[in-house]
Amino acid sequence: MTPILDVSDLTCQFAGVTAVDDLSFTVDRGQIKAVIGPNGAGKSTLFNMIAGVTRPTTGTISFDGSRIDALPTFRRARLGIARTFQNLQVFQEMTVLENVMVGAHTTGRAGTMSAIFATLRQQAEERDLTETAHALLTRFGLADKAQLKAGALSFGQMKVLELARALASDPSLLLLDEPAAGLPHGEADRMGEIIVDLNRNGMTVLLVEHNMRMVMSLSHDILVLNNGRRIAEGDADTVRQHPEVLAAYLGESEDA
């Protein structure tokens, strides 16, 4: 079976600095794959290239067997790639429910004209969408916040909301940019549980994360970057004992 995501010979340079250097890897269907590495290792640049925010200098990215590296972000989303953001990009002025409904934008059919005249089909779609969004909020414990402005939520709730928004489009690949960043221990653990649960139901996840405990406990496969290059790849035990990984992390004396 072809991998859902195939990154090949990917390089990204900014003004002479090579952020990602000739990197190749794949993500298989049903996998939780984590990308880790010290600060400045190129994780965010890699993530942004897959999401479509940053263009690679050379190399290719294929999703579901077809090239996506030249597509704008919104087209990648339409193919089934959903993402969350490290520094939250919720629609603060819209309600929690509307945030999730916007998340399902790609699944909707109704155009502007059918909206203006409130056609029966548009109304039916709207009702279904509202129900689906409510179900997602209920699942993530935000149902009682549905009518609040998203900006009124706590940081942790916004992180969960962003995840719910990403899931509303029923994606086939979920990109998580530091899902545990900024969360207290308990909430980070809960986020981990949510991710594992999603994966059990078939979701493929690619995540960038600093929280080692989380990465080691839930990932099937871990890619370790340093200076834009792969220094190790494999399951938690392999990566944990890899000499280059130890050197990269201990050299920075990062306690994770």
Partner 1 sequence: MSTSSSQSAALTATGRPAPGGWVALAASQHIRLVAVWLALIVLPFVLPNNYLLSLANLAFINLILIAGLNLLMGYGGQISLSQAGFFGLGAYTSGVLNVELDVTPWLGLPAAALVAGGAAALVGIPALRLKGHYLAMATLGWNAILIVFFVQFIDLTGGPNGLLGVEPFSIFGYALDREPRVFPLVWATSFLVMLVILNFLRSRSGRALRAVATNELGADAVGIDSFRIKLVAFSLSAALAGIAGSLYVHVNMYASPETFSIATSILLIVMVAIGGAGTFWGPVLGTAIYVLLPQFLAGFEDAELLIFGAGMIVVLVAFPGGLASLPTAVARWVGRRA
Footprint of partner 1 (CB under 8 A)? 51-53, 72-75, 77-78, 82-83, 85, 89-94, 97-98, 101-103, 105-106, 108, 110-112, 115-118, 122, 125-127, 129-130, 134, 137-138, 143-144, 146-148, 165-166, 168-169
- Give one word for 249, left, alpha or beta, with left for phi > 0 and alpha for psi -120 to 50: alpha
Q: How far is the CB of 10 from partner 1 (least distance, A)?
A: 20
Q: How far is the CB of 216 from partner 1 (least distance, A)?
A: 28
* Residue 218 DSSP label: H
Closest to partner 1 by CB, 108 vs 182, is: 108
Closest to partner 1 by CB, 85 vs 242, is: 85
* Residue 79 DSSP label: H
Q: How far is the CB of 80 from partner 1 (least distance, A)?
A: 10
- Is residue 185 exposed (0-12), middle (13-18) or buried (19+ Cβ within 10 Å)? exposed
Q: How far is the CB of 56 from partner 1 (least distance, A)?
A: 18
Q: Measured at the alpha carbon of residue 202, what is the angle toward residues 201 and 203, in degrees to the nearest 5? A: 105
- Per-residue burial over 125-143, b if 16 or more Cβ lie within 10 Å, else e, is beeebeebbbebbeebebe
Closest to partner 1 by CB, 35 vs 96, is: 96
Closest to partner 1 by CB, 44 vs 226, is: 44
Closest to partner 1 by CB, 105 vs 220, is: 105
Q: How far is the CB of 105 from partner 1 (least distance, A)?
A: 5
* Structure token digits, residue 249: 């992390």
Q: How far is the CB of 88 from partner 1 (least distance, A)?
A: 9
Q: How far is the CB of 157 from partner 1 (least distance, A)?
A: 15
- Per-residue burial over 30-41, b if 16 or more Cβ lie within 10 Å, else e, is ebbbbbbbbeeb
Closest to partner 1 by CB, 9 vs 128, is: 128
Q: Give phi and psi for 231, each to the nearest 5.
A: -110, -20
Cα-Cα end-to-end distance for the chain: 35
Closest to partner 1 by CB, 147 vs 201, is: 147
DSSP element (H, E) containing 59: strand 58-63
Indicate the residue type of 234: G
Contacts from 186-190 at CB under 8 Å and sequence distance 24+? 187/156, 187/159, 188/214, 189/214
